[in-house]
Chain A
Amino acid sequence: MATIYIDNTPFEVPTGKNLLEVCLSLGQDLPYFCWHPAMGSVGACRQCAVKVYKDENDTKGKLFMSCMEQVRDGMRISIVDPEAKEFRAHIIGWLMTNHPHDCAVCDEGGACHLQDMTVMTGHNYRNYTFDKRTYINQYLGPFLNHEMNRCIQCYRCVRYYKDYAGGKDLDVFAAHNHLYFGRAEDGVLESEFSGNLAEVCPTGVFTDKTLKQHYTRKWDLTMAASVCHHCSLGCNITAGERYGTLRNITNRYNGEVNGYFLCDRGRFGYEHVNSVSRIRKSLVRSNLPEATDKYTALQTVVQLMRQGRVIGIGSPRASLESNFMLKTLVGEDNFHHGVSDAEHDLTELSLKILKESDARTPSLREVEKADAVFILGEDLTNTAPMLALAVRQAVRQEPLLEQVSEAKIPVWQDAAVRELVQSEKGPLFIAVPTATKLDELATQTYFADPDAIARLGFAVANIIYPESPGVRGLKNNDLHLAQQIADALMKAKNPVIISGTSSGNEAIVKAAANIANALVAKEKSAGIVLTLPTSNSMGLAMLGGHRLQSAFEAVENGYADTVIIVESDLYRLASEGAVTNFLKSCKKVIVLDYLHSQTTEHADVLLAAGAFSEADGTLINNEGRAQRFYQVYPTIEDIQESWRWLGELGTIVAHDQISWWHGYDDILSAIVKEHPEMKGIEMVTPPSDFRIAGQKIPREPHRFSGRTAMRANINVSEPKPAEDPDSPLSYTMEGYRGQPPSAMIPFFWAPGWNSNQSVNKYQQEVGGHLKGGDPGIRLIEPKPEHKFSYSAAVPEKFEPMDGHLFILPLHHIFGSEELSAQAAAIQERIPEPYIAINTDDALRMKLDEGQLMPFAIDGNLYQLPVKLSTTIASGTAGLPVGLPGVKFAELPAWAILNRELQWKPQHQTTF
């Protein structure tokens, strides 16, 4: 700790930081542009000037850029010094000489860092009388809008895009005052993290294009804390609504999970909520018209439940509450998981490993700090994108720790650090079936079939810790690689092993667990990260339940005849024939969902469930972190959360437990009572009767407009605002105006800070944890003195089969996930279905790129264009998972090749 004097007031501050960070952490208002807590300082914009004095007798002082100046003990600085203030006002004045007169039509307006800083410095009149510079804009794809005139040349965009996120296609062009930030030519931005440019850019050069289609100012949005539903990482998001539709997703800072950034799937996948295939009314098929009100629908379901023997199918994309409610309603024995059987096993295995492992599962922030990473069988960019971004930061750790600390350069001196480090990277080993975007960072990549990957993993574990079972018959090359990986992991202080369920191979996950535990046995603080298929896969696995197959069998055997399906499209989970057969043999099918799908077509009663923005609930992410998402806006019509539908059903049938639950909090305590290992989820957020100074927390900013006109076209008499019984948040702008507890911050705002940069005011220290701790409670921690039992399930070597290909699942960030694939912007980026095969195999089969290859998996016929791959192992092939138009197959699986296969074009139903 050091003592510094800001305007003659002493402050205790941590050493090693720069002055700007320290001033902001102390709550001072100091304007800045080019500095970003995640990216460090480059001193490009000259905006954060302060006066620094030699000693207490120095009255003159010197102007310093605070972002470039390290804190020293006894330092005396002044922020309010007139000369410093005038300097900052002049800098803004110069930055604004070419800034267009656009605020009224600019999407950034009202949440603009440049606006905030201009007001903060007091610059208010343009003295420059000459002409303004202009630029031609570029088309950057469906996610971002480009308006280059507004640029103030702070370089944040390229520093983020190239240096932080590893993008290649955004750069700075031209020279002197003609700098141009864009692509070499018009085209879609390739990076999966491009959406963050909208938040990184301090002004409106890059703005959210999906928001532009239904533009709303930040101050007009009804917002609430939410959690991303598009992968298992559980990034924190803020969702905003106006006029009944969801308008945008912005990053909600969580120091342990996503930090300052989101992936494009998370940021732009929200439009499924507004999609045309939404279920907005409950349907009873036997009635005419089918669309009906809530009470008729409930009565019908109750009748069906009383007549039939009911089983339930839960879902990994539904909240913990909905699944628990279903489990209670139908009974533990009749509760099945709406996941494919392979995923069911893998998720259970992952949970078991996390529970029994001596290695801890790190949060994303901890992965960023890892100094050696080994990835087994996961294409992270496509299955857990933000984890890939964290790995990108992790490869910088070792050089940072070694060279930079040796050279005595502070790590926030970004330009100097990058100059010193050059292209030096820490150890990253990737063993995957086919090329991934992280390969360019890897020390070594290993492209092989899943069994070979698992064998390599087992071999590494065995080398590190001989008690872990060894592998017989490993080739010399592979043995050498295993040795190299083991050495690198043993050299590191915080190695992290990353694997997951997307490969569909249990042996890989077991091998990863062996390595992590072997490292722990050697007294390393090793971590293991396992990615899971869906947002609440972990929660569903922790609740327990039977497989989907046993649900099919229960109906087939006549054990049950009525099924309640909660938020699942069974056609994505099992083969078409089996699902159709199952749904047909059920006497009655009751479906609760928010998007129409092939499954909802078969529903006798369809209850309109709330999408993520219309529901309260808890998700448990892949590290076992329980996080709450709040309902963003009151629902119109008869849409409500699945757990509320099920709760009402339970109350009507006088269920002995459900009838006693009177609200959201009761469900949480019931879950904890039933599942003691989930203790803590009731404390993720304050209870619904929580108040600050007797007031609720408003979801709307104090400048929210149009309250007395929004609904005036329907009726000039305004209705009473909707009430939220489930949370301490109100649907209005009235309530407590201070900072709420960190788990329920509806939006970031501080006086003078309208943009998302106001998050500074909510953090304990800039870039650190939120005040009051980061949201979410981890439910799984390694138990001390537990002994991990190493798996001995080393697979045999993979043997290709003649006339067959072993089909591996390939995931795509855009398209493989069910919900985001319904969002219009994402749909533009979904690739066409294909089958990836090895170039040698293609040559042998006389197939060329783009030619159609017919094959059959488990009796299902496919005919897809060939995509040649040099990396995928011979004898295997890659089939994209979940893309619209590709039928479900339980992967990995053998495919029979037959050029004579009769393939007749079938009508593809896509929603």
Chain B
Amino acid sequence: MVKIKKRKLGEAQIPTSSMADIAFLLLLFFLVSTNIDVDTGIGLVLPEFVPPEEQEFVPLSKDRMAALLINENGDVLLDGNIIAIPQIKDNLKIRITEKIELPSNKKLVVSVKTDRRTVYNLYLQSLDQVKGAYFEVWEEYAGAKYGKSVRDLTPEELEDVRAKIPIIISIAEPEKV
């Protein structure tokens, strides 16, 4: 009987000790080139575009409306009265709060209007105040009803807060000058 000789295989090995080094090098590259900055800002949804000939005038009762006008001289007018920007928040908060229990078609509408020469920063500061007023009313409402901060609410509870105090900010149609 012939004995078949098994060829002994030399042990094949890939050196892996440097793999970590290579991986570290790549890691360093991606670490340096990553930027994890989130965009922060004030969100809005613009109204749908309606061609001028199809526009209808929807009358709004006066007490439902808070008209904010920022003119080109830097004056901020709330319902025709000059107001300082930091006062907008407290002023609106009262008006939002008294409409919490009203049906959804009677909630406050904040209309923001600017001139073409208004400085952007002023507009944003005013919008910030409006948002701030809503956020603070949300916070108070959530605290009173659920005893917790808006951040800790469950989705259903948040939905309720949103329904009770909807943020309605209307960007007025610009006037052609």
- B and A form one assembly: no
State the A residues within 8 Å of B (CB).
none
What residues make up the interface of B, taking CB atoms closer than 8 Å to A? none
